[in-house]
Chains A and B, each alone.
Chain A
Amino acid sequence: VEFTKVAADPSIVNLGQGLPDISPPNYVKEELAKASAIDRLNQYTRGFGHPSLVKALSQVYERVCGRKIDPLTDILVTVGAYGSLFSTIQALIEEGDEVIIIEPFYDCYEPMVKMAGAKPVFIPLRYKNDGNSASSADWVLDPAELANKFNSKTKAIILNTPHNPIGKVFTREELQVIADLCIKHDTLCISDEVYEWLVYKGKQHIKIATLPGMWERTITIGSAGKTYSVTGWKLGWSIGPQNLIKHLQVVHQNTLYTCPTPLQEALAQAFWIDYKRMDDPDCYFYSLSRELESKRDRMAQLLQDAGLKPVVPDGGYFMIVDVSTLNVDLSDVDAKQPYDYRFVKWMITSKKLSAIPLSAFCGPETKRQFEKYIRFCFIKKDSTLDAAEVILKNWNKQTV
């Protein structure tokens, strides 16, 4: 919330908050216009999810997961993936529970777990390489360290793959390590997969729920905002076994009851269009990641040209970079804040470029480890990246 205020200034090149400034595909916008024109679609729909939407979601995900998914009992439509995280945590987590959170983490996990009365237990991704070109794949969990975090109080682990902010796409082997521990300790897995389609060449998004023994204990969360570049539609979904989803539905019926109808109808229609072409490379699920891959490569190049060492992501639309190597004089900026907060504040004011400090994504113990990093968002139109290029190319020149 802090940083969106600062970056609302149009003279600042905003690579901070994760929202596209590219247009959603035309057919998505058209479907919303069509849905809104139908009178009854402006009134309440089914609370747990508009029928045509849950049907479409079940079809798409049956295909992806290779298992039957009941649209009425195995799916809940929520207000964004954010709403799914909230419903899941409120439904399944309480005082006395511990929840494992992998650092860096999407910042809402910690307050949501705390609000449910539970204790967050952090484990950091650690950078294992020392080479020149850093990739998100270089950031890994230490299996022994991870195993140590599990105990009889562990209710759940939150997994985010592809990962925000690093862009890591967990491999099958890495997921198996997590799955083995979940099964051994009878733990839930909350799998935030909002960036599931944004995976770059050579990588594959694997759903932990498809590993043996995991469907029964996993809630998989998805997002229309990230799938279709419509973050402002705030529609997400939770998919899982009926005996878990039914509890999320209880939370939902006691919090907001139903999600907006025309948006759900439009989303359903968009899903049908893409479901029918899931064998076709033009399917938006694949074409968007192709479009983003070239933006990713361009962003990485710009940062490298400015003398920085970006961590090239295997997925998602964020890129992190260590900025301490620039040795910028931050003595004028609020000394009490972590390095990256101060750097970003300075960068917004003097370079008119915004990003998000990585320590926003860490627990208290790990802030030191990540405070040299900032996060850039690259799901931006060419003119935005052009403007960023100008700033980065002129970085070493004196500021006016």
Chain B
Amino acid sequence: KKLKTLCLSLQAKMSRPVHSRRLEGVDKNIWVEFVKLAATYSTVNLGQGFPDFPPPDFLKEALMTALSGENHMLHQYTRAFGHPPLVKILAQFFGKLLGQDLDPMTNVMVTVGAYQALFCCFQAFVDEGDEVIIIEPFFDCYEPMVTMAGGTPVFVPLRPKAPENGKMMSSADWKLDSAELASKFNERTKAIVLNSPNNPLGKVFSQEELELIADLCVKHDVLCISDEVYEWLVYDGKEHIRIASLPGMWDRTVIIGSAGKTFSVTGWKVGWTVGPNRLLQHIRTMHQNSVYHCATVAQEAVAQGFQREFMLYGKPDSYFVQLPKELQKKRDCLVQSLDAAGMKPIIPEGTYFLLADISNFKSDVPDNPNSDEPYDSRFAKWMVKNKGLAAIPLSAFYCTAHKNNYSHFIRFCFAKEEATLKAASDILQKWKQEKTSP
């Protein structure tokens, strides 16, 4: 018997290839690497997109109330497709904004962050042979998610046009070429992913731009996956327009939202999808076979948060009014620091990110023709290790083939306390002085 056990042990190791083929090509992830670098080296972290200021008091109180209440059933499963109080207020809130009568049970579904909503959409709608149009630069998960679903990502770039008179570039200066966009649509096109306001650029798509996209979707009978997680973060009096409210679009659009971005609680991982039942039914199927339920107590608190915002909508006390006001100031502060230091910022119309052109700092990180790695990635790594300032290379937001198209931009997150932004400014100033002094 002992000999038999020994023999079995020797055969013990799995000898055949173990992982499924759907993982091919989706194993790399920029965040795993860059989050680790920031954790190890950074003194000022403007890299990964999360606020370092506290969540709003009313939301923290809502969570505490939920936890301290008599109802311990908030620690047990709730409705799989979304905690009833949350889906009800989301239906009310977004119904009003969209001018649609929304059924909380069929037009809304809660997910584990907007990330899981995206996953459910791609899995629900994309099959082998389908093409999905992705506008570059893009939040990096879209590509591997389309690939994992068996689909083919088709990329179309936003192209920058230099502003006149030496003005600072704005995210509005990056546009789609309408003929180029139209050429990407064909009979295999299943969906287009729209992200407005756009991460990493900060672009807020205009009415005309959205109409261009909508016309093509309607013409080619294509779905629109509309990632609107930064919907409240728009500046300079700009308006976030929901593509689902354009003619012909409600029926073919899934809108994705995020409590993490809406209420500055990225760690709660509460997101949602809103759309017609004919689309949500498939998202529900995907959800019930992957995650099934989302955590209850955070949903309860987010529902309370939305109730408050529903009452205060448009009023000065609304968090959706205050947060963008605060963030606009922080944006302007960082823009100024970068400009003063010689990094050229692109002023974002929305989100809490901005891109900066680091061309003036290239001497610190020489080109390496032997390296496969895009320049901006090497730059960002050098910067965090040597200057303690963490940022994300723009190439992270492009497909492999296009990673070197814009290789001298890095992305900063400015959802940070004044002290953090000041510390960033100090690093940049010191760095500039080191470059200019003999």
Contacts and interface: CB of A to CB of B under 8 A. Distances in A.
B74 interface: yes
A37 B60 contact: yes
A92 interface: yes
A19 B52 CA distance: 36
Given A86-B290, A232-B297, A1 B20 contact: no
A357 B216 CA distance: 49
A101 B72 CA distance: 35
Given A19-B77, A43-B51, A217-B12, A1 B288 contact: yes
A124 to B, nearest CB: 23
A45 B289 contact: no
Interface stretch (B177-185, B265-273, B371-379): B265-273
A251 interface: yes
B247 interface: no
Interface residues of B, number: 68
A79 B295 CA distance: 8
Contacts of A44: 48, 50, 266-267
Contacts of A79: 112, 291, 294-295
A369 interface: no
Interface string B2-37: 000100110111111011111100110101100100
A17 B77 contact: yes
A254 B291 contact: no
Interface residues of A, number: 71
A307 interface: no
A40 B5 CA distance: 50
Given A36-B63, A93-B20, A183-B8, A233 B32 contact: no
A36 B115 CA distance: 22
A100 B116 CA distance: 29
Interface stretch (B140-148, B165-173, B335-343, B382-390): B140-148
Contacts of A216: 12-14
B67 interface: yes
Interface in B65-87: 67-68, 72-80
B302 to A, nearest CB: 12
B91 interface: no
A188 interface: yes
A29 B68 CA distance: 8
Given A90-B22, A254-B119, A183 B267 contact: no
A43 B8 contact: no
Interface string A333-369: 0000000000000000000000000000000000000
B23 A91 contact: yes
B14 A42 contact: no
B48 A36 contact: no
B64 interface: yes
A46 B48 CA distance: 11
Contacts of B22: 90, 94
Interface string A166-204: 000000000000001001101010000000000000000
Contacts of A111: 289
B295 to A, nearest CB: 5
Interface string A118-139: 0000000000000000000000
Nearest to A41: B267
Contacts of A253: 29, 31-32
A5 to B, nearest CB: 9
Interface in B283-302: 288-298
B118 to A, nearest CB: 9
A232 B67 contact: no
Contacts of B298: 260, 263
A6 interface: no
Given A32-B67, A247-B23, A43 B76 contact: no
Contacts of A37: 60, 64
Given A33-B64, A233-B295, A21 B19 contact: no
B115 A232 contact: no
B392 to A, nearest CB: 14
B112 A256 contact: yes
A42 B21 CA distance: 35
Contacts of B295: 79, 232-235, 260, 263
Interface in A85-125: 86, 90-94, 108, 111-112, 115-116
Nearest to B15: A186
B248 interface: no
Nearest to B112: A256
Contacts of A112: 289
A86 B291 CA distance: 8
A90 B55 CA distance: 35
Interface in A13-57: 17, 19-21, 23-24, 29, 32-33, 36-37, 39-47
B52 A40 contact: yes
Contacts of A214: 12
B54 interface: yes
B113 interface: yes
A184 B8 CA distance: 8
Contacts of A19: 76-77
A118 to B, nearest CB: 9
Contacts of A259: 112, 269
A46 B35 contact: yes
What are the 5 A-B residue pairs with the smallest beta carbon separation, nearest first? A261-B267, A213-B12, A232-B296, A94-B20, A256-B116
12 contacts: A21-B73, A47-B32, A83-B290, A94-B21, A225-B77, A231-B75, A243-B14, A247-B19, A247-B20, A255-B115, A255-B290, A263-B298
Given A42-B266, A263-B298, 6 more contacts: A29-B67, A47-B31, A79-B112, A79-B291, A232-B293, A234-B112
Interface of A: 1, 4, 17, 19-21, 23-24, 29, 32-33, 36-37, 39-47, 79-80, 82-83, 86, 90-94, 108, 111-112, 115-116, 180, 183-184, 186, 188, 212-214, 216-217, 225, 229-235, 243-244, 247, 250-251, 253-263
